[in-house]
Amino acid sequence: MTNTTSIRRRITRRGWSVLLVVLGSLFDLCAVVNVPGGAALPGQPGGEATITGFGAVLGLLAFVAWMSVPWRRRHPLVVLIAGGVIALIGISYLLLLVGAVSTIRWHPDRLRPVSAGVIAVVAIFVIRETVTPWWGAALPWFASMSTDRSGIGWAIASVVLAVASLTVAGAVVLSSRAQARAALSRGIADAERERADVLGEEMVRQAERERIARDMHDALAHRLSVVSLHAGALEMVAGDDAGGMARTVREQAHAALDDMRGLIGDLRTGPGQASPSTMRAIGPLLAETRAAGAVIASYVLIESPERAGAQFDSAVHRIVQESLTNALKHAASAPIDVHVQVDPSGGARIRVVNPLVDGGRAAAPVVPGGGHGVLGIRERAAALGGTAWIGPYEGSFIVDVTLPWQERVAGSSSGAN
């Protein structure tokens, strides 16, 4: 639809250009009568007027000048200058007005100099017609078929015609400027409306984030607090082995509460804010998992974590965390191999491998889950332009994620403390 409209506009503009060239050239061909020697005019009405050789040259010159009209948008000054030459020669000032309107329309800052120049040239044209008896024969000839210019009536007619022509040109300029201002106002209004729509959508998203944050807090905070309370009580009355397990449960419940508060903070503040997770917490995360009884062989090499962007920093930690959670769910007693390498030149490579159990198939999870961990890993990798390969391979379950490096924006926090 847009291409069709653009083609129609171009065809319309070219049609107007051709029409102006044809009509303007014919008008100026007749107007060569204004120039002394441009035409042989009989003294009596009813005689035949003939264009002289000099008049033919003037007509050809006028035609060449009118051929500049198709460039009135890109090069309006060319049309203005060509019209000024034709007017100073004495043929007509019609092309001058066309050039002036185009120049002022596309160069509004030139309104005053162009207007003053056009008025000066038209004034010269009219004064020459009214003062000298051998200039300006076109008006009386085409009005009465006579060369008699005696009396003040023809002089007044020339002045009135000039004022009317300038008035029409001024009205066209004012109309064009009004249309331009209206188009600008419509553009501003459209931009403000889009901005209001974006703000409205953001308010809706913020309200939804607030609702989700409240639901998470109400649904989980109480249950985790109860788990921590009972784990603490069990730690006090149980033996060494059971007490250690209870202590681990209590610490993990506290960590879960902290993570949940951080996630709720993210929801309420929106995206782009500092995350409570960071690559620097991968070491403590592995230590906590080992303390809970997991067998983990790890290789972690992180360079320049302070340079990492907040989203990248958080994503590395979350992917490792989700990968460990997935391994513990499906193979809690199996050894887990964790490989994490991060540097500004190569980005991040995260590889977590655990052997499949139950005959080479993934075992049923010992902890209930909705299967969103793997999906979350894929989504985090895709959001950062990385790749994620997740699935069984040769008796092992592999999570292999590659992320391109993201530099921290100056003045922002990476979320690591």
Q: Flag the least confident range among 199-203, 278-282, 390-394, 399-403.
A: 199-203
If one compares 309 and 42, the residue with the highest pLDDT of the two is 309
Stretch 324-344: mean pLDDT, rounded? 86
| Identity at 176, one-letter amino acid code | S
SS3 317: helix
Taking only the tens place, the pLDDT of each residue in 65-113 is 999 999 888 899 999 999 999 999 999 999 999 999 999 988 888 889 9
As a whole number of angstroms, the distance between CA 95 and CA 21 comes to 10
Task: Give CA–CA dist 396/137, Å, rounded.
Answer: 104
Q: Pick from 264, 268, 270: which is nearest to 217 by CA? A: 264
pLDDT over 90 for what percent of the chain?
33
Name residue 407's beta-bridge partners.
308
Q: Write down the pLDDT at residue 369.
A: 47
350 within 8 A of 320, measured Cβ to Cβ: yes
pLDDT above 50: residue 281: yes
Residue 370 has pLDDT above 50, yes or no: no
Using 50, 70 and 90 to split pLDDT, how confident is the model at 117?
very high
Q: What percent of the chain has pLDDT over 70?
A: 75
Mind giving me the DSSP string for 243-296?
HHHHHHHHHHHHHHHHHHHHHHHHHHH-TTSPPS--GGGHHHHHHHHHHTT--E
Q: Of 118-127, 242-251, 326-335, 371-380, where does mean pLDDT reach its minimum?
A: 242-251
Residues in the chain: 417
> Quick one: pLDDT at residue 368?
46
Strand partners, 39: 51
Query: What's the pLDDT band for 255 if we cut at 50, 70, 90?
Result: low
Q: Work out the average pLDDT over 335-346.
A: 94
The string of pLDDT tens digits covering residues 35-52 is 888 888 775 455 567 888
Q: Does residue 347 register a pLDDT over 70?
A: yes
pTM of the model: 0.48
pLDDT at 334: 84
User: Which stretches of 132-239 are DSSP H helices?
Assistant: 138-144, 153-216, 222-237
Half-sphere exposure of 200 (CA within 13 A, CB side): 6
How far is CA 238 from each of CA 67, 235, 247, 290, rounded to the nearest angstrom? 103, 5, 10, 21
Q: Where does the pLDDT of residue 333 fall: very low under 50, low under 70, confident under 90, or very high at 90 and above?
A: confident
pLDDT at 229 over 80: no
Work out the pLDDT band at 366, boundaries 50, 70, 90. very low
Of 99-103, 170-174, 187-191, 329-333, least confident by mean pLDDT is 329-333
- 282 within 8 A of 317, measured Cβ to Cβ: yes
| Residue-level pLDDT at 399 | 94
Tell me the β-bridge partners of 401: 350, 388
Spatial distance between the Cα atoms of 228 and 258, rounded to a whole number of angstroms: 12
Q: What does the alpha-carbon distance between residue 145 and residue 137 come to, in Å, rounded to a whole number?
A: 10
Q: What is the mean pLDDT of the chain?
A: 81
* Residue 272: band (very low, low, confident or very high) from pLDDT cuts 50, 70, 90: very low
pLDDT surpassing 60 at residue 19: yes
pLDDT digits (tens, 9 = 90+) for 74-85: 899 999 999 999
**Comparing 91-95, 311-315, 373-377, which segment has the lowest mean pLDDT?**
373-377
Beta bridge partners of 305: none
What is the model's pLDDT at position 416?
A: 40
Q: State residue 143's pLDDT score.
A: 73
Per-residue pLDDT reduced to its tens digit, 134-156: 787 777 777 777 666 666 777 88
pLDDT value, residue 88: 93
